[in-house]
């Protein structure tokens, strides 16, 4: 049985309602075999609901899931042939590591010799050969996580589902495991859906990202697309545009927008339809906001007072406030003193201007991806 | 320093004021360092607070128990010896009570444990009316044996509703005997013992992480396999404990054996034999001997269960429990 023996998996208008509350609305997504998809969003955005719906642990309220032309959302989880890694690992505490990994094969009535061979193979992939006889309780968190991964891939499932698998690990281990999961995915060609609230994790691992908010899809795209062209300010916020400022639009000329307020004047690029007089959401990444050169025109810069300057390895992350108290985050090559006056500037192409309201844009944001 | 150390010697002198002063002035260096030294040796001083309870247990349980053991070796005929035990084991009417009690307690405990598993398992999740259902299952605890016996006599007696109904629909010609015999006592033990078993097993079940079952499902295990491979092995130690508790409760059956049983015959249980030796024959030594035998039999059954339990996985079950 070759892994990912299908060409595409389709979620058609998948929705889920909990006691009258919509947890997931109209998720439509086509996943190609071998793709790594990350569902990204804050807690309560519907990403885990979506995963559980795909896994068969939650029934759908609307829509359907098909693999090629086979309908799978009506199958019970045990008939779907999916592997899943749970946030808390969910290892069977009374079974040895080898038994845990072999459980799925045993359920599929794999002959004993083959079972032993495949368990050994899966354990060697996650580098846990010598722990085969241990109980899960005798392993560290990272080792348990690797057992959970071995267990999810040993049956060569059509689809691997991962529910925030790294959130219980410490920062360093998380980085290591991130690389390991990515490596496994590439070498085994497993189709994967990965749920996370960590945008860095999603950006670094996934082929495509699905950003969710309150059950609604905000944007679907490659890490690059999302990072450089967020569909709305919510996605921008998630992609590391830490400066989100509401400012009134004073001038618009095509995509070039000028905004004034909160003690600053900004030139930016409209990413959504905004009109003069309307208050828009402006998104700027800290690394795109720079100290202005000496002698640049005062009209094009923002004056601010330094509040906090944090050393981040080779540069400094600085928080400063404008005359009206608006906090701005930027990166400076050198440390700045608290109370120091600075003048900031940004390339208009990297100042993204969005409509304030997300609701009206939800549909458009989902559709344009 | 010497000042604070000497102070206790003034306390026996008497007044509350002196001892109160001692208590408030004491938390100086010596006491905290003593606390640390005790902590180094793994002694927790606040454990001393259990001392009154310990005294209570000693006075109200250990002493009477040892007194009873002593009494059982002092036969009514005088002297010291095993006569009371010999009396019990040579008289089939007395000796047979062990079997009669076992015949009630074992099936009742087994039934209560086994019947609780599917019900507790089914009631595990969240659903409408769960609290009402669980309350109804637990109500018999609050009723007490006598009320249950009264109910049983009303429902299952010769002129009770069950018999009248069965007669009316023509299933039987003469009333069947459901009470004042073995069955009456067994029913009573089940009615009063089931809530205990159900509550205990429910709490053991809630200690099993629900995601284990989900993981098993995704790995291809249907509900039967999930139950036998995941739930049951993790629940087994809890089942053993529950069995032991319900067995001990059932083994000391007394009121229902009299009220809904046949106390002169089929349900002359061991506690009745002990009671009769004490209250009718005034043979305290024999009564004590029977009580000791009763305890030994219970311990033997518990030992077997504990032995089995020791072969099981007893670590974390991943859940909140």
Q: What is the pLDDT of residues B257-277, one digit of tens each?
A: 889 999 988 899 999 999 999
**CATH 3.40.50.300 segments of chain A:** 8-228
Angle between the N-to-C axes of helices B284-309 and B83-90, in degrees from 0 to 180, rounded to the nearest 10: 70
In a domain, B79, yes or no: no
Instruction: For B182-234, give the DSSP string.
Output: HHHHHHHHHHHHHHHHHHHHHHHHHTB-HHHHHHHHHTT--HHHIIIIIIHHH
Do residues A90 and B217 make contact, with C-beta atoms less than 8 angstroms apart?
no
C-alpha B125/C-alpha B71 separation (Å) is 53
CB pair distance less than 8 Å for A77 and B211: no
User: Could you tell me how far CA A23 lies from the centroid of its own chain?
Assistant: 18
Residues near A338 by beta carbon (within 8 Å), at least 6 away in sequence:
A306, A307, A308, A309
pLDDT at A266: 85
Is the domain of B14 the same as that of B152? no
In a domain, B317, yes or no: no
Q: Which of A77, A78, A93 sits opposite B318 (nearest CB)?
A: A93
CATH of domain A243-357: 2.40.50.140
Per-residue confidence band for B26, with pLDDT thresholds at 50, 70 and 90: very low
pLDDT at A3: 47
Best of B220, B228, B237, B315 to disrupt the A interface (most A CBs within 10 Å) is B220
Q: Write down the mean pLDDT value for chain B.
A: 85
List of chain B residues whose C-beta atoms are within 8 Å of the C-beta of residue A90: 209, 211-212, 214-215, 318
Q: Token pair of B249, please?
A: 């409760």
Q: Token pair of B34, please?
A: 């003593």
C-alpha B209/C-alpha B212 separation (Å) is 6
CB pair distance less than 8 Å for B229 and A55: no
C-alpha B120/C-alpha B207 separation (Å) is 12
Q: Which of B248, B297, B276, B268 is nearest to B87 (CA)?
A: B276
Is the domain of B96 the same as that of B39? no
Angle between the N-to-C axes of helices B145-156 and B161-168, in degrees from 0 to 180, rounded to the nearest 10: 20
C-alpha B124/C-alpha B226 separation (Å) is 15
In a domain, B66, yes or no: no
CB pair distance less than 8 Å for B217 and A57: yes
Say how many domains are in chain B.
2
Write out the residue range of the structural domain in which residue B20 sits: 1-43
Q: Token pair of B32, please?
A: 């905290």
pLDDT at A299: 65
Do residues A49 and A17 make contact, with C-beta atoms less than 8 angstroms apart?
no
Q: Token pair of A75, please?
A: 């199958």
Q: Which residue has the higher pLDDT, A277 or B205?
A: B205
Left if phi > 0, otherwise alpha if psi is -120 to 50, otherwise beta: which for A259? beta
Best of A51, A55, A88, A103 to disrupt the B interface (most B CBs within 10 Å) is A103
Give per-residue pLDDT as tens, B91-131.
999 999 999 999 999 999 999 999 999 999 988 877 788 88
In a domain, B62, yes or no: no
pLDDT at B15: 45
Q: Which of A78, A80, A83 sits opposite B221 (nearest CB)?
A: A78
In a domain, B296, yes or no: yes
Q: Which residues of B touch A (CB under 8 A)?
A: 209, 211-212, 214-222, 225, 229-230, 233-234, 313, 315-318
CB pair distance less than 8 Å for B220 and A78: yes
Per-residue confidence band for B201, with pLDDT thresholds at 50, 70 and 90: very high
Buried b (16+ CB within 10 A) or exposed e, A122-156: bbebbebeebbeebbeebeebbbbbbbbbbbbbbb
Is the domain of B33 the same as that of B135? no
Q: Token pair of A150, please?
A: 């071995």
List of chain A residues whose C-beta atoms are within 8 Å of the C-beta of residue B218: 55-57, 77-78, 80, 82-84, 161
- Other Cβ atoms less than 10 A from the Cβ of B97: the count is 24
pLDDT at B141: 80
CATH of the domain at B222: 1.10.3720.10
C-alpha A253/C-alpha B214 separation (Å) is 56
Is the domain of B109 the same as that of B180? yes
List of chain B residues whose C-beta atoms are within 8 Å of the C-beta of residue A135: 313, 315
A118: closest CA of chain B, how far (Å): 15
In a domain, B56, yes or no: no
CATH fold group of domain A8-228: Rossmann fold (3.40.50)
- Other Cβ atoms less than 10 A from the Cβ of B283: the count is 18
In a domain, B113, yes or no: yes
Q: Token pair of A34, please?
A: 């071998």
Q: Token pair of B196, please?
A: 């205990």
Is the domain of B30 the same as that of B166? no
Residue A315 backbone phi and psi in degrees, to 5: -140, -175
Element (H, E) at A346: strand A341-346
Please list the pLDDT of chain A residue by residue as tens digits (369 residues).
444 478 889 999 999 998 888 889 989 999 998 899 999 988 888 899 999 999 999 989 999 999 988 899 899 999 999 999 998 899 999 999 999 999 999 999 999 999 999 999 999 888 899 999 999 999 988 899 899 999 998 988 999 999 998 888 888 888 888 888 888 888 888 899 999 998 888 998 999 999 998 888 899 999 999 988 898 888 998 888 888 888 888 888 888 888 888 778 888 888 888 888 888 899 999 988 888 877 666 667 888 889 888 888 888 899 998 888 888 899 988 888 888 888 888 888 888 999 888 764 444 443 333
Residue in chain A nearest B317 by alpha carbon: A93
ipTM exceeding cut-off 0.90 for this assembly: no
- How many angstroms separate the Cα of B227 from the Cα of each of B27, B202, B235, B240? 56, 15, 10, 17
Q: Which of B309, B227, B271 is nearest to B105 (CA)?
A: B271
Instruction: For B136-157, give the DSSP string.
Output: HHHHHHHH-HHHHHHHHHHHHS
Q: Token pair of B84, please?
A: 């009371």
Residue in chain A nearest B318 by alpha carbon: A93
Q: Which of A257, A238, A213, A261 is nearest to A361 (CA)?
A: A213
Q: Which DSSP state fits A292?
A: P
CB pair distance less than 8 Å for A83 and B219: yes
pLDDT at A349: 87
Q: Which of A75, A130, A132, A127 is nearest to A100 (CA)?
A: A132
The pLDDT of B41-60, averaged and rounded, is: 87
Strands (E), chain A: 8-18, 21-32, 36-40, 62-67, 70-71, 82-85, 159-163, 192-196, 208-213, 216-221, 243-253, 256-261, 264-270, 279-284, 289-291, 302-311, 316-321, 327-332, 341-346, 352-355
């Amino acid at each position: 049985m070759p892994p990912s023996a299908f060409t595409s998996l389709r979620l058609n208008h998948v929705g889920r309602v909990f006691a009258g509350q919509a947890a997931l609305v109209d998720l439509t997504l086509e996943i190609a075999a071998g793709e790594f998809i990350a569902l990204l969003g804050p807690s309560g955005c519907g990403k885990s609901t979506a995963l559980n719906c795909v896994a068969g642990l939650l029934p759908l309220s609307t829509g359907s899931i098909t693999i090629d032309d086979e309908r799978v959302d009506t199958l019970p989880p045990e008939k779907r042939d999916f592997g899943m890694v749970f946030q808390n690992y969910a290892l069977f505490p009374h079974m040895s590591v080898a038994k845990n990994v072999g459980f799925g094969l045993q359920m599929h009535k794999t002959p004993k010799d083959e079972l032993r061979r495949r368990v050994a193979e899966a354990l060697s992939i996650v580098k846990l050969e010598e722990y085969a006889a241990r109980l899960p309780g005798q392993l560290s968190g990272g080792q348990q996580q690797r057992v959970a991964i071995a267990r999810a891939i040993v049956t060569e499932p059509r689809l691997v589902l991962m529910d925030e698998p790294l959130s219980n690990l410490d920062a360093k281990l998380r980085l290591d495991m991130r690389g390991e999961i990515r490596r496994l995915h590439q070498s085994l060609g497993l189709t994967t859906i990965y749920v996370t609230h960590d945008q860095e994790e999603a950006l670094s691992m996934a082929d495509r990202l699905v950003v969710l908010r309150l059950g609604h899809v905000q944007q679907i795209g490659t890490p690059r697309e999302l990072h450089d062209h967020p569909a709305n300010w919510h996605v921008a916020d998630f992609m590391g545009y830490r400066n989100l400022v509401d400012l009134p639009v004073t001038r618009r000329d095509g995509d070039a927008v000028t905004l004034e307020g909160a003690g600053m004047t900004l030139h930016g690029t409209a990413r959504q339809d905004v009109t003069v007089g309307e208050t828009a959401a402006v998104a700027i990444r800290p690394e795109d906001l720079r100290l202005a050169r000496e002698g640049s025109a005062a009209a094009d810069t923002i004056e601010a007072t330094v509040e906090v300057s944090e050393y981040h390895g080779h540069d400094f992350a600085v928080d400063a406030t404008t005359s009206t108290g608006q906090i701005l985050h930027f990166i400076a090559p050198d440390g700045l003193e608290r109370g120091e006056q600075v003048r900031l500037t940004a390339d208009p192409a990297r100042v993204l201007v969005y409509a304030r309201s997300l609701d009206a844009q939800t549909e458009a944001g989902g559709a344009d991806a | 320093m010497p000042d604070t150390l000497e102070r206790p010697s003034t306390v026996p002198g008497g007044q509350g004021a002196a001892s109160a002063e001692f208590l408030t002035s004491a938390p100086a260096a010596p006491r905290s360092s003593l606390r640390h030294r005790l902590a180094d040796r793994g002694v927790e001083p606040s454990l001393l607070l259990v001392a009154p309870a310990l005294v209570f247990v000693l006075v109200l349980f250990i002493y009477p128990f040892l007194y009873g053991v002593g009494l059982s070796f002092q036969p009514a005929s005088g002297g010291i010896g095993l006569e009371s035990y010999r009396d019990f084991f040579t008289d089939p009417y007395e000796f047979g009570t062990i079997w009669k009690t076992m015949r009630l307690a074992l099936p009742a405990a087994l039934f209560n444990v086994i019947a609780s598993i599917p019900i507790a398992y089914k009631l595990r999740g969240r659903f409408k009316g769960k609290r009402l259902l669980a309350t109804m299952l637990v109500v018999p605890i609050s009723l007490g044996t006598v009320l249950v016996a009264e109910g049983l006599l009303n429902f299952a007696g010769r002129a009770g509703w069950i018999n009248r109904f069965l007669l009316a629909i023509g299933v039987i010609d003469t009333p069947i005997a459901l009470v004042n015999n073995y069955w009456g006592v067994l029913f009573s033990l089940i009615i009063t013992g089931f809530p205990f078993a159900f509550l205990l097993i429910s709490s053991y079940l809630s200690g099993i992480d629900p995601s284990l079952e989900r993981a098993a499902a995704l790995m291809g295990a249907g509900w039967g396999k999930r139950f036998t491979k995941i739930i049951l092995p993790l629940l087994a130690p809890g089942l053993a404990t529950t069995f032991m508790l319900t067995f001990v409760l059932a083994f000391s059956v007394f009121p229902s054996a009299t009220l809904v049983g046949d106390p002169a015959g089929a349900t002359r249980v061991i506690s009745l034999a002990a009671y009769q030796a004490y209250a009718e024959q005034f043979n305290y030594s024999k009564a004590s001997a029977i009580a000791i035998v009763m305890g030994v039999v219970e311990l033997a059954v518990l030992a077997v269960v504990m032995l089995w339990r020791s072969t099981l996985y007893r670590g974390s079950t991943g859940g909140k429990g």
